[in-house]
């Protein structure tokens, strides 16, 4: 009888404790989530050993802040990625501290491409959301996160700066929307100035080597043209060949994706293959002076274009036709 009385007192107490812990009478965990569980914070050490993705390399994992991959016999024939800088803060409004990361990529040449990477705190391991190319050989002065906005201060290239020594100071702001980077109003305003280079037939006049060893002029600029259309497509004339595809602009950054091309041999002295390679390697542009000159900056030099006239309204929004060729690709 005494045991029964004790059970009558103890059992309700135990039941109350189990209910407070979120356990049902049947012994199962209640559906209500436990908000008291604290997700581990991201740290620089975690980011230094995380998995990332860059379009030019694919998916890779850092080890102590570095990734190395050899693709040839030469000492410089290797891909190298290093974590240069990181900032912490909530990017997606879920209350967890995420991270913005600067990665620097080298692939054997003198170029050092800088990327801004969004790393979301999933509660277990960081997961990349998006990346954006900040430019080639830009210097990162500061990186911070405040109220969900990533602020980046860089030193980039002015119109007369050599590729070794950027001097132009810029500030950019990004926020994460739907898992993708979106630039702030300042970035949108900068993009609006890109209308100065669209709907124009640009004629390639010369190549300026950063070392000034391989500078050369184009004998007939009419045979090497570039036209960027407002709908995001481009048209290229490369001597006896043609190419068309898609491009993207963000501020002063440009990316000209490899497109469909005719790849005929144009004869001795033609620079068609070299021209197509340079276009696909372009990372930024400038409009120095009177805006009648366009400079595309690549790894190792500048392609200089002159204004060749405006595209007629009837050709601004034409959808590019497919160009099919089984000839060797000069971009590879």
**Greatest mean pLDDT range, 145-159, 164-178, 220-234:** 220-234
| pTM greater than 0.75 | no
Which pLDDT value is given to residue 41? 77
What average pLDDT does this structure show over 276-293?
84
Strands (DSSP E) along 213-312, which ranges? 216-217, 224-228, 233-238, 241-250, 253-256, 260-261, 284-286, 293-298, 301-310
Predicted confidence (pLDDT) per residue in 28-45, tens digit: 333 333 434 555 678 999
Comparing C-alpha atoms, which of 39, 70, 65 is closest to residue 52?
A: 65
Distance of alpha carbon 228 from alpha carbon 231, whole angstroms: 9
Q: Are strands 233-238 and 224-228 parallel, antiparallel or unpaired?
A: antiparallel
34, 111 in Cβ contact below 8 A? no
Domain ranges in the chain?
44-183, 194-315
**Residues belonging to the chain:** 332
Which pLDDT value is given to residue 63? 96
What average pLDDT does this structure show over 187-216?
74
Comparing C-alpha atoms, which of 188, 52, 182 is closest to residue 117?
A: 52
| Domain made up of 194-315: CATH architecture | Beta Barrel (2.40)
Helix (H) or strand (E) holding 287: none
Distant-in-sequence, close-in-space partners of 160: CB < 8 Å, separation ≥ 6: 288
Distant-in-sequence, close-in-space partners of 98: CB < 8 Å, separation ≥ 6: 42, 88, 89, 90, 91, 92, 118, 119, 120, 121, 126, 145, 176
């Amino acid at each position: 009888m005494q045991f029964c009385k004790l059970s009558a007192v103890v059992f309700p107490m135990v039941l109350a404790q189990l209910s407070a812990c979120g356990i049902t009478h049947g012994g199962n965990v209640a559906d209500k989530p436990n908000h008291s569980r604290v997700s581990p914070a991201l740290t620089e050490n975690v980011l230094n050993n995380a998995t990332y993705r860059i379009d030019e390399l694919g998916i890779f994992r850092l080890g102590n802040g570095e990734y190395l991959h050899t693709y040839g016999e030469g000492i410089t024939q290797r891909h190298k990625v290093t974590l240069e800088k990181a900032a912490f803060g909530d990017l997606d409004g879920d209350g967890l501290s995420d991270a913005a990361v600067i990665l620097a990529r080298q692939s054997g040449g003198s170029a050092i491409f800088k990327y801004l990477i969004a790393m979301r705190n999933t509660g277990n391991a960081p997961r990349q959301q998006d990346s954006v190319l900040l430019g080639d050989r830009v210097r990162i002065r500061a990186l911070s996160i405040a109220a969900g906005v990533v602020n980046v201060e860089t030193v980039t290239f002015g119109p007369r700066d050599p590729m070794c020594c950027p001097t132009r100071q810029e500030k950019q702001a990004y926020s994460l929307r739907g898992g993708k980077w979106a630039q702030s109003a300042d970035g949108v305003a900068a993009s609006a100035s890109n209308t100065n280079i669209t709907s124009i037939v640009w004629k390639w006049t010369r190549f300026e080597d950063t070392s000034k060893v391989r500078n050369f002029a184009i004998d007939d600029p009419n045979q090497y043209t570039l036209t960027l259309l407002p709908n995001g497509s481009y048209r290229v004339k490369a001597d006896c060949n043609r190419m068309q595809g898609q491009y993207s602009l963000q501020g002063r950054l440009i990316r000209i994706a490899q497109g469909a091309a005719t790849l005929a041999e144009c004869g001795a002295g033609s620079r068609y293959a070299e021209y197509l390679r340079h276009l696909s390697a372009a990372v930024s542009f400038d409009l120095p002076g009177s805006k009648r000159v366009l400079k595309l900056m690549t790894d190792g030099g500048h392609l200089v274009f002159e204004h060749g006239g405006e595209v007629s309204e009837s050709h601004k929004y034409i959808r590019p036709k497919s160009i099919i060729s089984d000839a060797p690709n000069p971009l590879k």
